[in-house]
Amino acid sequence: MTFRLLQNFKGGRALVITRRAGWETTLETTLAKLGVACDYPEIVDGRAQLDVGVLQPERDILFIDGDLEGAVAIEVNPASKLPPVPVIGLVGVEAPSRLKALVNLGATSFLRKPVHGGAVYTALFLGINQFLLRTDMYEKLQDLESRRRGRRAVIRAVVTLMQETGLNDDDAYSALRRDSMRARQSLELYCEEFLKRRARPPDTPERPSSITLQGVNKQAM
Partner 1 sequence: MTRTTYRIGVMFSTTGSYSVVARSMLNGAQLALAEINAGDGPIALEPVVVNPAGDLAQYRALARDLLGSGIRQVVGCYTSSSRKEVIPCFEKFDGLLWYPSHYEGFESSDNVIYTGAAPNQHVLPLVDYLASRVGKRAFCVGSNYIWAWENNRIFREALSARGGSVLAERYLSVGDTEFDQVIAAILEQRPDFVFNNLIGTSAYAFFRAFRAACRAAGIDQANDIPVASCTLSEPELQEIGTEAVDGHLSSSVYFSSLNSPENAAFLRAYSRACPDGPVVSADAEASYIAVKLLAATLAQAGTDESRFVRCAVANQRLPAPQGEVRIDPQTYHAWLTPRIGRSSRDGQFELLLEARQPIAPDPYLVQSSPRFATSMRPPLLRMVKS
Distance CA 19, CA 8 (A): 28
Regarding 23 and contact with partner 1 (CB under 8 A), the answer is no
Candidates 3-11, 37-45, 104-112, 190-198 — which segment interacts with partner 1 by CB under 8 A? 3-11
What's the Cα-to-Cα distance from 166 to each of 146, 161, 170, 189, rounded to whole Å?
30, 8, 12, 23
Shortest distance, position 2 Cβ to partner 1, whole Å = 7
Pick from 19, 20, 35, 81: which binds partner 1 (CB under 8 A)? 35
Q: Which element (helix H / strand E) includes 212?
A: none
Candidates 14-22, 87-95, 116-124, 164-172 — which segment interacts with partner 1 by CB under 8 A? 116-124
Regarding 139 and contact with partner 1 (CB under 8 A), the answer is no
Regarding 18 and contact with partner 1 (CB under 8 A), the answer is no
Query: Which residues on adjacent β-strands are paired with residue 110?
Result: 89
Shortest distance, position 34 Cβ to partner 1, whole Å = 6
Pick from 30, 108, 109, 180: which binds partner 1 (CB under 8 A)? 30
- Residue number with CB closer to partner 1 (85 or 176): 85
- Rounded to 5°, angle at Cα 57 from 107 and 67: 30
- Phi and psi, residue 172, nearest 5°: -65, -40
Distance CA 10, CA 4 (A): 16
DSSP 132-150: HHHHHHHHHHHHHHHHHHH
Regarding 56 and contact with partner 1 (CB under 8 A), the answer is no
Query: Which residues on adjacent β-strands are paired with residue 216?
Result: none
Shortest distance, position 33 Cβ to partner 1, whole Å = 5
Pick from 13, 23, 34, 189: which binds partner 1 (CB under 8 A)? 34
Regarding 29 and contact with partner 1 (CB under 8 A), the answer is yes
- Phi and psi, residue 157, nearest 5°: -65, -40
